[in-house]
Structure 1
Amino acid sequence: MGILNRIGKAIDALLQQENENYEKGVDFERYVVELFRKQEKYFAIHSWTGDLSDKYQGVRVESDSEPDLTIRYKPTDEKFAVECKYRSYLYNDKLCWTTREKLKDYRSFAQKNIIPTFIVIGLGGNPRNPEQMFCIPLEKAKYPELYPSVFRKFERDPRKSFFWKNGVLH
């Protein structure tokens, strides 16, 4: 019975960690949305995916393979997509932000919809107050793991509202 108890505790710990990571992701998405909402004159949330696949194991919801947000820039009616990722720390000096499969999904979405797509990453601190933030164009996020030499070029103040200029999110 001792081994079964230990296995059960290990499974409980893994499920708790998975749930905590999911909650951090949702909190960071909300934080990013609030940065857009501060500029409601300029930005509208066109769509926000529900991540239902994570909630119902074994059920794949196609829209969950899309970026978290589609935003409309009101002055020009341009749309762009945003995938939000929060990471507490770098792993082996790299930013591990997604899987190869998800990266392929994001690229497919961007090409199919002919829409600029950006990866907004919060790093350190907590999801509602990250120490650092990066807004990386999808075409620059070529791999699921990024070195600082790639993502540091796209650092932005995590407390400032977003702005859109010449087809680029800042």
Structure 2
Amino acid sequence: MLPISLIILGGILLIAGIALLLRTPKAESLNQIIQAVKADGILTPKEEQLIREVAQSEGKNADATIAQIRKELEESEEESESELIDVNQKAGLDFEKFVVQKFDKKYFQIRNWAGDKYVEGRYADTTTQPDIQLSLKLGANSYPFAVECKWRSEPKGDFIQFTEEDQLNRYKIFAKQENYPVFIVLGIGGKPSSPAELYILPMQDLNKPVLHRAALGKYRKNVDKDFFFDQESKALN
């Protein structure tokens, strides 16, 4: 009886193995389709139909599978947008650090270094102000001014937009209210921490947030030299 039992058991295991083997390629096929959709970032109608057919053939809930794929695609898109924002914020901060290092700490004091943090339209008052507010310290005298830092990687064409219209207006209002000069320090090309070109734009010279490259020439600054504020002419050089 024992040999017969072993034969029967072996037959059952063989049938189960064959059934499992037949099901495995389909599982791999469904997984491959899902991975391809995630890699592409888009679920097309054709892919959705294929997923439904394979999922149903495996006895899986096709609607739940597709809903999960869509959810993961949405989350992936949000993460990509967050990464882009993080990259832009890092570039801005790196350029601000580059600019700050151009002011000799023996003569210049940082009075305020703004951070662009906000949520649901709520932000600190300093978010609408220029990035860095400084003072030139000469003995007992102090001469305040402010700097807005802008870096552009590779502007195309002959015109360079260095800020937005509303930002330009806010900086002009700020300069008038505080009664001291505001400058836009513009970096172009290279890296935020080491721009290829550097310009200092006095706010009183700016009527639009865009300048032609030819008009930038007179504002160009040697990227290797430090900045200095002339308290008499109120010019940043």
Do the two structures share a fold, i.e. TM-score over 0.5?
yes
Unaligned ranges ≥5, structure 1? none
Summarize deviations over 1:124-155 as a string: whole Å, max 9, x none: 00011111100110122221221112222100
**Shift in Å, 1:100:** 1.0
Matched, 1:78 2:143: yes
Q: What letter corresponds to residue 93 of structure 2 in structure 1?
A: V
Inter-CA distance 156–58: structure 2 relative to 1 (3 Å threshold): same
Work out the CA distance in 1 between the residues paired with 2:80 and 2:210: 26
Amino acid at match of 2:212: Y
Distance 1:93 1:156, change over 3 A: same
C-alpha distance 72-92 of structure 1, shift in aligned 2 (>3 A):
same
Q: Report the CA distance shift for 1:127/1:47 in structure 2 as closer, same or farther (over 3 A).
A: same
- In the alignment, residue 128 of structure 2 is paired with which amino acid? S
Q: What residue in structure 1 maps to residue 121 of structure 2?
A: 58
TM-score (norm 2): 0.64
Give the secondary-structure state (helix, strand or coil) at the position aligned to 2:146.
strand
Partner Cα separation in structure 1 for residue 209 and residue 80 of structure 2: 26
Once the two structures are aligned, what percentage of the paired residues are identical? 30
Q: How does 1:1-170 map to 2 (within 5 A)?
A: 2=43, 4=70, 10-36=77-103, 39-53=104-118, 56-75=119-138, 76-165=141-230, 166-170=233-237
Residues in 2 aligned to 1:41 and 1:70: alpha-carbon distance in whole angstroms: 16
Higher radius of gyration, 1 or 2: 2
**Distance in 1 separating the partners of 2:181 and 2:222:** 21
Gaps of 5+ in 2: 1-41, 45-69
Residue 45 of structure 1 aligns to a residue in which SS? strand
Which amino acid in structure 1 is aligned with residue 235 of structure 2? V
- The aligned amino acid for 1:2 is L
More helix by share: 2
User: How many residue pairs end up in the alignment?
Assistant: 166
